[in-house]
Amino acid sequence: MKYVYPVIFTQDNNSYNVAVPDLPGCFTCGKDLVDAIEMARDAMAMWLCDAEDKGESIPLFSNANNIECEPGSFINFVDVDTTEYRRENDNRAIKKTLTIPNWLNSKAEKAGVNFSQTLQKALKQQLGIQD
């Protein structure tokens, strides 16, 4: 599911406050504009996923011309894909079958290696993902 909403960005010293008028209670902030947009996308995705899960109606987006914002604030449209958000944040364990040499398996078992943990760590390292 893809959505687009107008978002109000207000600079506050060296950071940005973020409000999504169409999603009640959807507020966040970011250390800079790029971070604020990412944080807005994340907050919107959580709000919308919760509404989808509860079977609540999803608000339509407002016309940006009808939204009032404070001096120094601006409106930008931010998109979010809840299907992609769910995929990226799904921490359910899945079973994978893999093949390694017998000698390596024997040594790892004798050393008490946790195969799942080791594979996860190696995959994160390979993909450049930091915890």
**Model confidence pLDDT, tens digit, residues 63-104:** 999 999 999 899 999 999 999 999 988 887 888 888 999 999
Q: CA dihedral defined by 29, 33, 34, 40, rounded to 10 degrees? A: 40
Closest CA to 79 of 40, 116, 28: 40
Residue 109: other Cβ atoms inside 10 A: 10
State pLDDT tens for residues 10-31: 998 889 999 999 999 999 999 9
Topology (CATH) of 2-88: Double Stranded RNA Binding Domain (3.30.160)
Hunting for tokens 């109000």 — which residue is that?
A: 8
Distance (Å, rounded) from C-alpha 1 to C-alpha 64? 21
Residues of the chain with CATH 3.30.160.250: 2-88
In this predicted structure, the answer to whether residue 61 has a pLDDT above a threshold of 80 is yes
Closest CA to 76 of 49, 128, 126, 38: 38
